[in-house]
A and B are shown apart, each in its own frame.
Chain A
C-alpha cells in the first residue's frame, strides 16, 4: 500500500482507527428569526473556535524544535496563517450568512455548501498550485463543521488490547482540534485516507516530528484496530502486519535513522577536524538547486559535485544559455559563498536524453558519452560553459569535466573554455577569469597519467564508481559480475592512492565524489592516502564526520599501511570492518 509521505521517518505501531461520521447536508431549514439568530451565533462561535485551534498550533510550534528532514517551520506556519485568513474571509462570511439568513439553512449545511462550491472552483483552476488550494478550503470547512457539531470523531473499538507498541492513528482525515485532543506522546504515526501535504494533519505531524502518510485511499479501509502497521513517512509506503523478520528489519532501520538524526544534531555545526588537528572538507553531491537547503542542514561546506544532467533531462530540447545561466546563478546564490563544483554534461548510452538520439551501442559504458560528446558537439559544450562562466560572478564556482582519458581531451576542452571566455569578453559580460577548471579521474588511463594531467588541470575529482568498473572490467549493473566491481581491490586502491599523491605533489586540490566517499569503511583509509576533500550525498555527512572527529591522521596512516600490505579485497574489507566495529 502506498500514499504520500508528508512527514519523514519510520513508524511501527498498533492501529488506532478514528472514525468520523460522514457528513452530508441535512436539508433541515430554520424556522423563525430566533432560530436564525441562534444559528448565526453558533456559526460565529465555530469560526472563533477554529481560529483559536489554529493559533494554538502556531504557538506550540514556535517552541518545538524542527525535527531533521522536515520543511522549515515557517512554511508550516505560513500555511496555518493562510488558513486563518480563509476562515475569517469576508467573502466566505457573506456567502455563508446569506444561506443562513436568507435561505434559512442551518449553519452546517451552509458551511458544507459554500466550502464545497469554493473548493470545486479552485479544483477546476488551470494552475496546479491554485487547484491544490481546494484542499485548504476543505480543511477549513472540516474545522468549522467539527465545531458546529456536524462532525464527531472518536476512536473506534475498545481500549488498547495490547500496549506493546505505540499507536498509529488511522483516519479519513484529521482537523487541528482532533489532534489537539490527542496525547501525541503515545502516537508513533499517522496514516490518513485523504489529505495532502498542506493539510492540517500533515503540518501537525511535521511540526511534531511524527511520521505520516496521507492520501492512502480506500486500501486503508482493510486495516483494523490493533493490526501492526509500519509506515515510512519519507516514501509513503505502508505495510500491514509484516512478518517477524520484516518487523525486525524495520526496527533496525528505524533505530539507525534515529542514530543518524542524533549524530546529525550533535555534529552539524562541528568542524570536521581530526583529533590531531587536520581539517577535512565535507561537501555534498546534488542535482538540483532545491537540494541546497539539505546540503546546509547536514553540515556540508559546499557542493563538490553538481550534476547538470537533471537540468537537461527535464527539458524537451537542449536548454538555452539563458535557461542554464539562471539555474547556475540560482545555485551560486543559494550556496551562500561556499564553493560549488559544476560538472558539465555527463550523458551517454546509459544516461540518454529524450531529445538527443545516441545510436545503439554494443558497450554504452565504453561508448559515446560525457566529454566525448561535448568535444564532438562543441555548440552544446560552449553554451554550457558560457552559462557557467556568466553565473561565476554570483558565487565560488568551479568547472568539472567528466570522463577525461588523456591530455588531448583536457587541452581540447580548455580551448573551448577559452573560446567561451573570449565570446563573453567581446560582449562585455563579466565572469570569474580564474574559474578553476578540473577533471574527473574515472578512466584508468587518466589515473595512470595523473602526474601529467596535474600539470594542466586545476583540480581532480576522483569518480570511484566508474574508475572501479573500468579498472575491474566489470559492469556494475550486471548481477553476474558486479561483485568484481569492488573499490577495495588492491588494484583500485593503488590507483586512487597514486592519483591523490600526484595531485598533492603538484599542489592541486583533489576530492573524491563516488560512493566510496560515503562508505564509513573507506574514511580513514582515504585520509591516510592524503585525501582532504570528500563529496557525498548530504545525509551521509554526519556519519563520516563522526569518524573524522574521533580519529587522528596518525591512525589513518596506520590503516593505510596495513591495508597496502594485504593482497585481496576480502581481507582488506574484513580488516576495515574489524577496526570500524
Chain B
C-alpha cells in the first residue's frame, strides 16, 4: 500500500472539472484508490462522493493506493496534484 499526503494549494479547492479529471484518472488503474480528509474516506471512483467532501484550498488530503499497479498509479496522481492543484 502506498499512502501520500497532498495540500490543496488552489484557493478555490477542488472544482468539478479537476475532480472529474481526478476520478477518471483513478479509474485507469486496477488498484483501489481512496482519498481521506479529516477522518472521512471515500473511494476515488465516485465524483459525487469526492465533491461531497467539500475540499477547500489549504485542506490536507491523504491518498491511499492498494493493488497491483500501485507504483504507476502513485506516479500519475503525483503528476496530477502537481499540475492541476497548483
Contacts and interface: CB of A to CB of B under 8 A. Distances in A.
Contact of B16 (A82, A90, A126): A82
Interface in A518-535: none
Contact of B54 (A79, A81, A126, A136): A126
B54 A85 contact: no
A469 to B, nearest CB: 41
Of residues A126, A129, A137, which shows the largest number of chain B Cβ atoms within 10 Å of its Cβ? A129
Q: Give the contact-size bracket for chain A.
A: 20 to 34
Interface stretch (B30-38, B41-49, B74-82): B41-49
A136 B17 CA distance: 13
A558 to B, nearest CB: 55
Interface string B16-37: 1101100110000000000000
Nearest to A130: B54
A89 B17 CA distance: 15
A172 B16 CA distance: 25
Given A81-B20, A82-B17, A121-B52, A90 B12 contact: no
B10 to A, nearest CB: 12
B15 A129 contact: yes
A85 B20 contact: yes
Given A78-B17, A127-B13, A85 B52 contact: no
A91 interface: yes
B51 interface: yes
A81 B52 CA distance: 18
A118 B16 contact: no
Contact of A85 (B13, B24, B43, B56): B24
A85 B12 contact: no
Nearest to B47: A85
Contacts of B52: 121-122, 125
26 contacts: A78-B17, A78-B20, A81-B17, A81-B20, A82-B16, A82-B20, A82-B47, A85-B47, A86-B48, A89-B46, A90-B43, A91-B46, A91-B48, A92-B46, A121-B52, A125-B52, A125-B54, A126-B54, A127-B13, A127-B54, A127-B56, A129-B13, A129-B15, A130-B51, A130-B54, A133-B16
Given A91-B49, A125-B52, A130-B51, 20 more contacts: A79-B16, A81-B20, A82-B17, A82-B19, A85-B20, A85-B23, A85-B24, A86-B47, A86-B48, A89-B46, A89-B47, A89-B49, A90-B45, A91-B46, A118-B48, A122-B52, A127-B13, A130-B54, A133-B16, A137-B48
